[in-house]
Amino acid sequence: MARGSSSSKPSEDGGSLKTLWRFLPMLWPRGEPALKARVVIAVLLVLASKAAVLTVPFAYKAIIDGMAVENAAFTIVAGTVAGYAVLYVLSTLVDQLRNAIFERVGQNAARKLAQRLFRHIHRLSLRFHLERRTGSLTRIVERGTKSIDSMLYFVLFNIAPTFIELAGICIIFTVQFGWGLTAATLVMVALYIVFTRMVTEWRVAIRREMNEVDQQAAQRAVDSLLNYETVKYFGAEEREARRYDKAITDYTNAAVKTETSLAWLNAGQAIITTIMLGGAMAYTVYGWSTGRFTPGDVVLVNSLLLQLFRPLNMLGWVYRSIKQGLIDMEKMFELLDTPAEIEDAPGAKPLVVDDGDVAFENVRFSYEDGREILKGVSFTIPAGTSLAVVGPSGAGKSTLARLMYRFYDVSEGRICIDGQDIAGVTQESLREVIGIVPQDTVLFNDTIGYNIAYGREDADQGAVREAAKGASIDGFIEILPDKYDTKVGERGLKLSGGEKQRVAIARTLLKDPPILILDEATSALDSRTEEAIQDTLSHVMKKRTSIVIAHRLSTIVGADQIVVLDDGKVAESGTHDALMAQGGIYAELWTRQAAERELEQAAE
């Protein structure tokens, strides 16, 4: 079972190679001939660009050698200058055309991976989402998907072209100047690459540290803002500011270390490239002094090496970017590799509901080893009737709803709907037939109309209004300036508790499920609001198989049967009158709550 992603880090080399191997197929998208054609055209344009780039220094050489000749014809030299300019502009235009053609490939790869990742995150278990921080999760997704397009670009248009250009320069140097200059160039380039890799690997560790503290800072900010009201309740603004400042300070220190290491890298690269350029030019100037080379040859060597330096200088940045991209993608692929705890059984069929009978048969369940929550719970709910579940906190009441939805699978026993074990049917079909009004209603930061319509994707405005009427919230909506287009705010904070509950009831009504779960749907409301919503819920429950998880016993007096959970077991069951006559746990809870209600009424 997946209980959050692994915290262990793969080895840098092994992890990077594995990530790169998974990434490379995106350069050749399967089943996308149009995109493959774009890749081929882009590669051809790369070759054309490099051909133009390597030709430019020869035009420069011809200009200098032409000027060195006495009585040289102006028109010939000027024509060479024009050819030089055309080649230079052509290489730039080809690069831009290449970028435009390939952009669709990179964006398509990023889109597909983002979509796949989003779907996978929704497939992961409730346990995973309860254990992960939202801020950290969104940062991983954001960084990973953004890395795709840039990684494709770096591999195809920076690294490969640089080595193509290096090969071309080596051929030119060998033909024009001999093996000595070629060998020296290869040695210095190799030294440059080795140095860049060593220092970059050192910087990767620093960068990992910076990413970790960056995630911690993001987590701290998101947690604090999500708990805005709690912060205000306890006057903890300064405390939160201190904690956030500590996280930001850690990030600042890590960022300083990162930039300092970058300065060392740039300095080392500059020394190597300067030695390479100075040595090559000194060799050519010496050849000129002995009559072997022309002034244009000095310019040719200088131009070729300067052109090589540009991608080589970028190679250090590209290598660092690729390493960083691999780190970001590594986290993303770890997320993609996190197995879903709840999967459809092989050959699972859609659930078929004719009546809506629900049965728990000797159900055992634990969230973690050694702490069993349900210890052999059994009960049956005939179609169209209601069953209320009561008991002390921690008895496992809300766990029943989570198991019904298959957010978790039972450890032993089974749960059946119309005789069908829910572990053997598709999760999608199971959740289609169950509606829930939860204790804590969380709404999307959108309009009231959108939140109600979320109950059924194809619902029209008339159906939304009818559902609002059934939930007795239509009158409230109609007096609002924007009516159904009224924004509810983050998590629905612009609405009162009762209004949010009615929106939850309305969207469940719109779903029109044969099985209904009310998970302490009124426990957070005042008595007057609770009574009004209770009337609405009673209307909603008619002709539906209903499970009512309740804390206030006064709300479930009319239930067809009541189950009392205690220590994970069914301690008592029966109607309200029968349980009161037994004088057991239920009667004790009723007497205690009745006394509390009398005190509340006296206080009012």
Distance between first and last Cα of the chain = 51
What pLDDT, on the 0 to 100 scale, is given for residue 8?
Answer: 39
Q: At what angle do helices 237-289 and 295-337 cross, to 10 degrees?
A: 150
| 293 shares its domain with 405 | no
What pLDDT, on the 0 to 100 scale, is given for residue 73?
Answer: 60
| 111 shares its domain with 197 | yes
Sheet (strand 569-574) strand order: 434-437, 515-519, 545-549, 386-390, 561-566, 569-574
| 289 shares its domain with 413 | no
Say if residue 394's pLDDT is above 60: yes
Measured CA to CA, the distance from residue 107 to residue 101 in angstroms comes to 11
Tens digits of residue pLDDT in 464-503: 888 888 888 888 888 888 888 888 877 677 777 778 888 8
Q: b/e per residue, 512-523, with b = 16+ CB within 10 A?
A: ebbbbbbbbbbe
Measured CA to CA, the distance from residue 26 to residue 317 in angstroms comes to 22
In a domain, 74, yes or no: yes
Say if residue 602's pLDDT is above 60: no
Say if residue 6's pLDDT is above 60: no
Mean model confidence pLDDT for the chain? 80
In a domain, 212, yes or no: yes
In a domain, 537, yes or no: no
Structure tokens at 251: 């990030």
> Does the CA dihedral 575-579-585-588 come out positive or negative?
positive
Which of 310, 337, 364 is the endpoint of a domain?
Answer: 337
User: How crowded is residue 168: how many other Cβ atoms within 10 Å of its Cβ?
Assistant: 18
| 186 shares its domain with 257 | yes
| 130 shares its domain with 278 | yes
| 415 shares its domain with 353 | yes
**Do strands 561-566 and 569-574 pair parallel, antiparallel, or not at all (unpaired)?**
antiparallel
* Coil, strand or helix at 562: strand
User: How crowded is residue 90: how many other Cβ atoms within 10 Å of its Cβ?
Assistant: 17
| 320 shares its domain with 409 | no
Sheet (strand 358-368) strand order: 371-381, 358-368, 412-417, 420-421
| 331 shares its domain with 401 | no
In a domain, 554, yes or no: yes
| 176 shares its domain with 260 | yes
Which of 337, 359, 391 is the endpoint of a domain?
Answer: 337
Q: b/e per residue, 45-77, with b = 16+ CB within 10 A?
A: bbebbbebbbbbbbbbbbbbbbeeeeeeeeeeb
What pLDDT, on the 0 to 100 scale, is given for residue 530?
Answer: 65
- Cβ neighbours of residue 258 closer than 8 Å, sequence gap 6 or more: 203, 206, 207, 210
Virtual CA dihedral for 500, 503, 505, 506, nearest 10 degrees? 170
What pLDDT, on the 0 to 100 scale, is given for residue 532?
Answer: 66
Share of the chain above pLDDT 70, in %: 89
In a domain, 218, yes or no: yes
In a domain, 470, yes or no: no
Structure tokens at 147: 């890395």
DSSP state string for 271-297: HHHHHHHHHHHHHHHHHHHTTSS-HHH
Say if residue 188's pLDDT is above 80: yes
Q: Count Cβ atoms within 10 A of the Cβ of residue 336 and give its class: 0-12 exposed, 13-18 middle, 19 or more buried.
A: middle
The number of domains in the chain is 2
Structural domain harbouring 379:
347-433+547-604
Say if residue 5's pLDDT is above 60: no
Helix then strand then coil, in percent of the chain rounded to 5, is 65, 10, 20
DSSP state string for 47-89: HHHHHHHHHHHHHHHHHHHHHHSTT--HHHHHHHHHHHHHHHH
Give mean pLDDT, residues 81-94: 78
Measured CA to CA, the distance from residue 439 to residue 455 in angstroms comes to 17
More confident residue, 172 or 152: 172
| 70 shares its domain with 154 | yes
Say if residue 604's pLDDT is above 60: no
Residue 44 to residues 86, 101, 156, 323, 539, Cα–Cα distance (Å): 19, 11, 11, 27, 70
Structure tokens at 467: 């559902």
Task: Give ∠ CA 521-595-557 in degrees, rounded to 5.
Answer: 45
Return the top range by mean pLDDT from 23-37, 220-234, 438-452: 438-452
Measured CA to CA, the distance from residue 22 to residue 34 in angstroms comes to 22
In a domain, 156, yes or no: yes
Strand partners, 425: 349
Specify the length of the chain in residues: 604
**Do strands 545-549 and 515-519 pair parallel, antiparallel, or not at all (unpaired)?**
parallel
Say if residue 522's pLDDT is above 70: no
Residues 152/26, Cβ–Cβ less than 8 Å: yes
| 223 shares its domain with 122 | yes
User: Residue 20 maps to which CATH number?
Assistant: 1.20.1560.10
| 369 shares its domain with 324 | no
> Does the CA dihedral 241-243-244-248 come out positive or negative?
positive
What Rg do the C-alpha atoms of the chain give, in angstroms? 35
User: Residue 586 maps to which CATH number?
Assistant: 3.40.50.300
Which of 311, 337, 363 is the endpoint of a domain?
Answer: 337
Give mean pLDDT, residues 84-111: 81
464: amino acid identity, one letter? V
Residues 108/324, Cβ–Cβ less than 8 Å: no
In a domain, 371, yes or no: yes
Separation of CA 507 from chain center: 27
Measured CA to CA, the distance from residue 601 to residue 206 in angstroms comes to 63
